[in-house]
Structure 1
Amino acid sequence: MRDYRDIIIRPIITERTMKIMADDNKYTFEVRKDTNKVEVAKAIESIFNVKVVKVNISNLKSVNIRRGRYMGKTKAVKKAIVKLAEGDSIALFGDEE
């Protein structure tokens, strides 16, 4: 069994994810590509001491991008949107408890 801290790579913080965090109590994380919903839920519950209600996972493909005359690709990531139980929260910026 892997360590739970190896499953969660980083939180994804954008305007859209901050809006769903405030409205629906959902948090978005980048996770390893070989994980499933059960492993993500157990990892979030053990790391942050919260109750996970639901996990949605989506695979984001790489996209061709252009910077001037140079072509490149973004990296492909696996994203997990985690819904927490009512009253639970995760302190992403250290201002919450």
Structure 2
Amino acid sequence: MDAYKVLIKPHLTEKSMNSIDQKNELTFVVLRTANKTQIKSAFESLYDVKVMRVNTQILNGQKLAYIKLSEDDSAEDIAVKMGVF
């Protein structure tokens, strides 16, 4: 499956911005039919980082993925590359 179809867009809220700094975690709106393994492989292939875990939640009809990165990689660096800051 195409990585750009799995990861639709970053989900930017105050909570997700705090989790970038505090938990080294990024939040994305993802394809509703994508599973955790597909989300993990799509994110690792696009950003060349190691993902520790993926948690998902369906909120207001959208599927959110909370992507926790390894300690070797920085969520803040990826957020800067995406243009979040």
State TM-score, norm by structure 2.
0.87
Q: Which runs of 5+ in 2 are unaligned?
A: none
Tell me, in whole angstroms, the C-alpha distance in 2 between the residues paired with 1:89 and 1:10: 19
The more displaced of 83-92 and 28-37 is: 83-92
Residue in 1 that maps onto 2:10: 11
Aligned residues: 80
Post-superposition offset of 1:54: 0.5
Tell me, in whole angstroms, the C-alpha distance in 1 between the residues paired with 2:23 and 2:59: 22
Residue in 1 that maps onto 2:49: 50
Higher helix residue share: 2
Tell me, in whole angstroms, the C-alpha distance in 2 between the residues paired with 1:4 and 1:89: 20
Question: Over aligned residue pairs, what C-alpha RMSD do you find?
Answer: 1.3
Tell me, in whole angstroms, the C-alpha distance in 2 between the residues paired with 1:80 and 1:50: 16
State TM-score, norm by structure 1.
0.77
Higher strand residue share: 1
1:28 aligns with 2:17: no
For the pair shown, the structure with the greater C-alpha radius of gyration is 1
